[in-house]
Structure 1
Amino acid sequence: MNRSIVPLLCSFLLLSAFSASAFNVTKILSQYPDYSNFNDLLSKTGLASDINSRSTITLLAIPNGAIGDLTSKSDDVVKRILSTHVVLDYYDPMKLKSMKDKTAKLTTMFQQSGKASNDQGFLNVTAKDNTFVFGSAVKGAQLNSRLEKSVMNQPYNISILGISQPIVTPGLDGTLAPVSAPPPKANAPSSPKSSPPAESPDDEAESPDDEAESPAPSEEDTKAPAPSKDADSPSADSPPADAQSPSSSSAGKLKISFGLFVVMASMVAAY
C-alpha cells in the first residue's frame, strides 16, 4: 500500500515544481525585440522574479517606442508602475471577447503589495472601436491604453498582450498625490430661518439717524421747559417762587388805598 503512494507523491511534487516555474518571463520577452526595454525594466526592478513565481498571469507589455520616461525613474517607482501591468489572471483576446458586457475590473500584482489605495491596484478594461482599452480603476483616471496585439500565450499560465502606451495610475510616480477620500464638506451657513430673530426697533436704543430725523425744539421750548404735569410732584400746582399769590396782592392794594385815604382826610381837616 505504501509503495503505491510513493509514485503518486513523486508525481505531485513534480507537478508542483513545474507549476512554480511554469514560465520565465525574461526568457520569453527576449524573443521579441520590440519589448526589450520593457524586459530590461522587469529584470532591473526585480519584478521578473515575482512574475515567475506565479502560475497564472497576464502581462500588459509596453513596446520600446512607447516606454517614454519610465527608464529615467527610480527602480522603486518603476516597479510600482509596472506591477499595475501584471494581471493576476489569464486573459487572451478570445477570453476578452467573451467577457460579460465587454467590460471587467482586473486585479493586478500591485494590489497584493499592500501599498495600493483607492483602487490603485485594479484596472478597468472595456471594448471600444473593435479593440479593448485598459486604464486604472482609480476614479477619474483615463482609459486610453489600447490593446494592439497578442504577443504570446500559454494557456492557462501566461498571456502577454501588447498595449499602445503605459497605464497611468494616479499617485504611483510621485508627480500626483495618492487619491484619497474627499474632504468633509464645509458646514453650510445657517439659513435666515434658523438664525435668531433680530431685535425689533422698539427694543433697540434710538439710533443716531432717528435722532437726526426728530424735529428740532422750538425757540419757546429752549427758553423755558414745560412744567411737569406729575400730580405727585410738590411743585406741580405751586406758582414760581418769585410770583405773588392773588390774596397777598389784594391785601397790599387795600393797605395803600387806606393810607392815601388817611392822608387826604388829614389834609381836609387842616383846611
Structure 2
Amino acid sequence: MAVSQTISDFTPIIMLYLLLHSTLISAVNITHLLSPYPDLSDFSDLLSTTTVAADLTQRTSLTLLAVPNSFLRTSELIRRSPSSTNIADVIRYHVLLQYLSLHDLRRLPPSGKLITTLFQTTGRATNNFGSVNVTYDDKTDTTIVRSPAAYSQAPSNATVISLINNLPYNVSIYSVNSLIVPYGFDLLASESRPPLGLNISKALIDGHNFNVAASMLAASGVVQEFESDEGGAGITLFVPTDDAFSDLPASANFQSLPADKKADVLRFHVLHSYYPLGSLQSIVNPVQPTLATEDKGAGSFTLNISRVNGSVAINTGIIQASVTQTVFDQNPVAIFGISRVLLPKEIFGKNAVLEKSPPISGAPAPFMPMNYSPDLYGPSPPPGEMHSSATVRTVNFAVFCIGLLYVFV
C-alpha cells in the first residue's frame, strides 16, 4: 500500500520530468553531423545551399546517402552547373525517409525494398520514381541503391561504401560511391531555359480541387497575365482550394466586388518570383510584394510568409492561410494549394469583420526516446559526459527542486 502511495505521489513529478526533457528536443542538424568528415564537405555544402538541410529539421527518422568529394567532383551534375532546382531534387533523392541501420540493410530481401525519399514528397516525381530500391547481396556484403525505373539514365544507382554516423532509430548516414539521378531528369537543364508555356487553368483543373479558382482566373482574364510573366524571375501562385472558397466569411462579400478589385485580389495571390517549397520554408525576407503590389504601388498588397508548426504560413494582416499541397513545381513556375482565400486588408480590412483564422494544422511533435543522442541536436559532449550540457544540468536541477517541494508540501 505504501509503495502504491509513493508511486502515485511521484507520478506528477515523473510526468513533469518527461515534459521538461521533451523541451530539449530540437531540430535535426544534419550538417553538424557531417562536419567531422572533411571528405563530405561538398555534399554538406549542397545540403545547405539547396535548403534541403532546412527541409530535414522536422524529420525524426531518416537515412542520408552522402557522396564523398572525390566522387561528387567528377559528377556531370556538378561540373555542368544545371539548374538549382535539379540539384536540390537530386540531393532530396539521397534522403530516405526511413531509419536504416546496418542490421536493417542486411535483412533486406533479395528483391530489395522500395523506400520513399524526400524527393517523392515534392510532387515532382512520376509514379513512384521518387523512391529508391535498396538491395543487399549477402555473398559480397554489398548494398546497392537504385532508381526503380527500368530505363533510368546513368547514374541511376550507387553502392554503399560505409556507415558514417548512426543515431539509433533517428538518423543514419552512409557514404555512397555516386550521385543517383532520379528518373526523367535533364542534367544539362539551364537556369536560363525558356518559359514552360504552362496552361495554368489546365494545371489547376488537373489538380481536381481548384475548379473555383480556375473558373475565376479564366473569367477575369488575369490568367493570361500570369502566364506571360513566367519568364525572367518566374512566378509563384497560391491557389485556394474549393473548400477555401466555401469557407469565406459572410462579411467578406467577394462576389460583389467590381471586376477590377476581383482582379486585384487574384493578383494578390501571386509572387513575381519562382519559389519552390524549400525556399518558401526558409525565405529570408518574409514580407513579399505581389503582382497587385506592382499594380497598386510599393508597400501595398504584400504578403507575410513564414514557417509555423512545420507548414508555410501566409498572413495578409486579416487572414492567415497555410500551404496544403504542391500542385505544380518546375522552374520558372510554382503553384501551391492553400487553405484559405487571401483577402487583402487594402480591400477587406476596413469594412469586413473576419473571424479569427484557425490555427495552422501540423503534425504533433513526435515522442522521442529518452536515450537520444546529443549529436543529433547540437555539439557533442566531451567523452564520458553523457547529457552533461549546461541546459540538461539546469533542467535536472529544476526538476529535483520541484520534486523536493512536492514531497515537503
Q: Same fold (TM over 0.5)?
A: yes
* Aligned twin of 2:19: 12
* 1:148 equivalenced with 2:161 (yes/no): yes
1:90 is displaced (CA, Å) by 0.8
Contact 2:109 2:136 in 1 (8 A): no
Q: Which runs of 5+ in 2 are unaligned?
A: 1-7, 190-409
Which of 36, 44, 49 is the equivalent residue of 1:39?
44
Q: For the residues of structure 1 that align with 2:185 and 2:17, how far apart are their CA atoms?
A: 44
1:29 is displaced (CA, Å) by 0.7
* 1:58 equivalenced with 2:69 (yes/no): no
Which of 102, 122, 126 is the equivalent residue of 1:117?
126
User: Radius of gyration: which is bigger?
Assistant: 1
* 1:103 equivalenced with 2:88 (yes/no): no
Q: For the residues of structure 1 that align with 2:149 and 2:97, how far apart are their CA atoms?
A: 18
User: What CA deviation, in whole Å up to 9, does each residue of 1:84-113 have, x standing for no partner?
Assistant: 100000112221001233611111011111
1:2 is displaced (CA, Å) by 12
* Aligned twin of 1:89: 98
Alignment of 1:60-209 (within 5 A): 60-67=65-72, 68-71=75-78, 72-101=81-110, 103-128=112-137, 129-141=140-152, 144-173=157-186, 175=188
* 1:49 equivalenced with 2:58 (yes/no): no
Q: Which runs of 5+ in 1 are unaligned?
A: 177-271
1:171 is displaced (CA, Å) by 2.1
- Using the aligned pairs only, state the percent identity: 33
Aligned alpha-carbon RMSD (Å): 2.5
Alignment of 1:238-253 (within 5 A): none
1:53 is displaced (CA, Å) by 1.9
- More off after superposition, 146-155 vs 9-18: 9-18
1:13 is displaced (CA, Å) by 5.9
Q: Compute the TM-score of the two structures, normalised by the length of structure 2.
A: 0.39
Which of 30, 41, 47 is the equivalent residue of 2:35?
30
1:9 is displaced (CA, Å) by 5.4
Q: For the residues of structure 1 that align with 2:15 and 2:77, how far apart are their CA atoms?
A: 48
Contact 1:150 1:161 in 2 (8 A): yes
Contact 2:114 2:133 in 1 (8 A): yes
Q: Compute the TM-score of the two structures, normalised by the length of structure 1.
A: 0.57
Amino acid in the other structure paired with 1:161 = Y
User: What CA deviation, in whole Å up to 9, does each residue of 1:216-253 have, x standing for no partner?
Assistant: xxxxxxxxxxxxxxxxxxxxxxxxxxxxxxxxxxxxxx
Contact 1:133 1:144 in 2 (8 A): yes
Q: For the residues of structure 2 that align with 1:124 and 1:74, how far apart are their CA atoms?
A: 26
Q: For the residues of structure 2 that align with 1:75 and 1:7, how far apart are their CA atoms?
A: 49
